[in-house]
Structure 1
Amino acid sequence: MRIVEKKPNNLIPLELGIIKGSDPIQRYATIDDNIADWNSVSFLLNKKAMFAAVNVFHAAAQYCIDKNFNMVYGFYHKKVNSIVKLYTSIGAIPSKKYGKEVYFPECYFQGELVYLTPIEINKDALQKIRTRIW
């Protein structure tokens, strides 16, 4: 799990992805204050890994709550149903502000370029994640 806090002199992953279909290449630029990007969730599909993933999600949500972020952004890959279900079950929604999919030229899944859906995890969703047992 990686949480990147937006600062005046850095880019969060949301700002690094290339917007699908843009020509010339375009990227998102965030101007909001007090936001973060939460990404790189990866775990095996077994009981031990699921227990670890739940603990990581709880800790990450608590960190975001403690930092009082106004919004936390992330991505999911629509072709990985388990990740989509996980994020939607905790209250993450496709971003309204950053509605187009993005990609990273070096990121492939099963031989295909990965298009990622930007998501928003608001404060209510963070509280839900923090208290959820699964």
Structure 2
Amino acid sequence: MSEKTFEPGIHHIEFWVANLEESIEFYRQLFSIIGWKQLNETAFSTGKTEIYFKEIDAELVRTLGPRHICYQAMNRSVVDEVASFLHNVQATIIRGPIEVKEYSEGYYTVDFYDPNGYILEVVYAPNMEM
């Protein structure tokens, strides 16, 4: 039996949310646009990274977390499609879609809030070195 090889990276991210049903519906639509697959009732994956959701009483938890999570788009039209989705669900858009040349040539982004106030970004960054 061969041993599976792993790469360094993020294994999973857990989102604590106030309303599981609302969050799953929002992310089901968003992730279908940017190429993530739904694994089960509460989880999504790219095949390398998993995000899952857990409903929790926000009054019990007081934590600070990352400023935002940025998802890579495969092209500019994906960013535009995400922006259209955000308008349709009346999400709050922070900026974009907009090209931000200070970051890198062709950096095309939309930043927004999810239903729980998480700040998210979807970007097409063809010239950015990682």
TM-score of the alignment, normalized to the shorter chain, above 0.5: no
TM range (shorter): under 0.3
Which is richer in strand? 2
Q: TM-score, normalised by structure 2?
A: 0.27
Normalising by structure 1, what TM-score?
Answer: 0.27
Radius of gyration: which is bigger?
A: 2
Higher helix share: 1
Greater length-normalized contact order (CA 8 Å, ≥ 6 residues apart): 1
